[in-house]
Amino acid sequence: MIIKNARTFPGNNIIDIRIDGGKVSKDASDSFTVDAGKNIVIPSFSELHIHLDSVFIMSPTLINRSGTLEEGIALWDEYKKHSLNADELNIRVRKALELLLSNGVTRVRTNVDVSDPDLTALKELIRIKKEFTDIDLQITAFPQHGMYTDKMNMELLERAIELGADNVGLAPHLEDTFEDGIKSVKSAYDLAEKYHKNIDGHIDETDDPESRFIEYLAKEKIRRNFTGSVAAGHLTAMHSYNNQYANKVIKLISRAKINVVSNPLINMHLQGRYDSYPRIRGITRIKEMLDYKVNVALGEDCIMDPWYPMGSGDPLDALFMALHAEPLMAPPYLENSMNMLTYNAASAFGVRNYGYSEGDEGDFIITDTQNPVEIVQYRHKRLVVRRGRLVNEVNK
Ligand code: FE2
């Protein structure tokens, strides 16, 4: 396949992208050509934080009336007990993956709740990962109730990793005590080292300014000289930190090279629920972290589940929300914000060959604009290329 007249972003150069054998290659034949008309063609999106096991379960019996994280977890527990099975999960997950793919996502890192004694969702997701080859799927074993709130939790987490989960998850702010939270950070590194896995955590997803597990996560990576990748999802407590402490911890995150994944849609909805007015915005400090060269990516987190009654499968929606909530509406942040879905996200996912160069992955999104801001402003008319094959046309 050849994509002619493609405008690079960043770079703003007009090039022909030749794809052969699924990769960018000089040797591609002229058999199938798409003319991008000098519009921007970006390497595909990566969705770094989503819960595929709970997508599309929203129903009149699963309404989160308080809008809190906690009520969402209780409703999800009910669903797992009475309704979850491999067949219905398979249908929901495939629907979500198709949706994500149609919006230009060809890499997905999903959390899977591993507090279920049968690990039903995990086993089915591992099967789907092998079958659904249009998306590269990574699975994070997510201890929804922490590692130490029940004696079974650690056993199930380790079992999930042995069965084939890619990343070790953790949620220190959901442990019963501060001590258990710290212990869970150490245990995540122990497991990751034992099984040669990466770490992908829910960290400080609370409004509580005393929730400071991110500093332990960062320091422990440095202390152990941990060579895998570490992602910290949410970090919403940072919104409530005093400025001096936030500055200290952001520098530590930068030094430790922790990837940060903000989920602006969900956290604008869930945070501030214990406030009256004035009410906090509730997403992490994206702008300040970008200033300190932290690798920040964005996630969608939820699609129609007890935590979020919406969700489109389009990463541009998360970006749109981040631009407003932070806000990031002035240069250079606005123009460069797309990188949080492209280069930053691919780097956090662990992609080595990403971009327009020889040998890079042949996954691209052809847009209909020459202005990077308009990609998020209008979010329409896109062609999605997977390994040199046109997989979908959006809104055509
Ligand atoms: Fe999450």
Structure confidence by residue, pLDDT tens digits, 225-240: 999 999 999 999 999 9
> Do residues 213 and 236 lie in contact, with contact meaning Cβ atoms separated by under 8 Å?
no
**Tokens found for residue 18:** 């030749």
168 C-alpha vs ligand 1 centroid, how far in Å? 14
The CATH code of the domain that includes 255 is 3.20.20.140
Number of domains observed in the structure of the chain? 2
Give me the chain's average pLDDT, please. Answer: 96
300 and 364 inside one domain = no
Summarize pLDDT for 341-378 with one digit per residue, the tens. 999 999 999 999 999 999 999 999 999 999 999 999 99
301 C-alpha vs ligand 1 centroid, how far in Å? 5
**Which residues make Cβ contacts (< 8 Å) with residue 21, sequence separation at least 6?**
388
Report the DSSP beta bridge partners of residue 200.
231
35 and 61 inside one domain = no
210 and 249 inside one domain = yes
390 C-alpha vs ligand 1 centroid, how far in Å? 31
Is 333 part of any domain? no
The sign one gets for the Cα dihedral 83, 140, 320, 17 is: negative
Q: Is the pLDDT of residue 396 over 70?
A: no
Cα–Cα distance, 364 to 386 (Å, whole number): 7
* Mean pLDDT, range 312-338, rounded to an integer: 96
With CA atoms as reference, report the closest residue to 168 among 212, 220, 209: 220
**Beta-sheet strand order (sheet of 389-394):** 41-43, 364-366, 382-386, 389-394
324 and 209 inside one domain = yes
* Structural domain range at position 57: 45-328
67 and 192 inside one domain = yes
Is 335 part of any domain? no
* Mean pLDDT, range 6-30, rounded to an integer: 93
The C-alpha angle 317, 321, 325, rounded to 5 degrees, equals 175
Is 370 part of any domain? yes
> How many CB atoms sit inside 10 A of residue 56's CB?
17
Is 336 part of any domain? no
| 8-state DSSP, 239 | G
> Do residues 284 and 320 lie in contact, with contact meaning Cβ atoms separated by under 8 Å?
no
pTM score, two decimals? Answer: 0.97
Q: SS3 of 384, please?
A: strand
**Tokens found for residue 234:** 């949410």
106 and 133 inside one domain = yes
What confidence score (pLDDT) does residue 393 get? 64
Is 234 part of any domain? yes
Summarize pLDDT for 251-271 with one digit per residue, the tens. 999 999 999 999 999 999 999
What confidence score (pLDDT) does residue 394 get? 56
221 and 87 inside one domain = yes
**Which residues make Cβ contacts (< 8 Å) with residue 68, sequence separation at least 6?**
270, 273, 274
Is 345 part of any domain? no
Q: Is the pLDDT of residue 392 over 50?
A: yes
Identify the band that residue 395 occupies on the pLDDT scale cut at 50, 70 and 90.
very low
Cα–Cα distance, 318 to 312 (Å, whole number): 10
Is 341 part of any domain? no
255 and 378 inside one domain = no
* Catalytic residue annotation: 205
262 C-alpha vs ligand 1 centroid, how far in Å? 10
259 and 366 inside one domain = no
50 C-alpha vs ligand 1 centroid, how far in Å? 6
51 and 35 inside one domain = no
Is 338 part of any domain? no
Summarize pLDDT for 271-324 with one digit per residue, the tens. 999 999 999 998 999 999 999 999 999 999 999 999 999 999 999 999 999 999
246 and 286 inside one domain = yes
> Do residues 47 and 107 lie in contact, with contact meaning Cβ atoms separated by under 8 Å?
yes
79 and 8 inside one domain = no
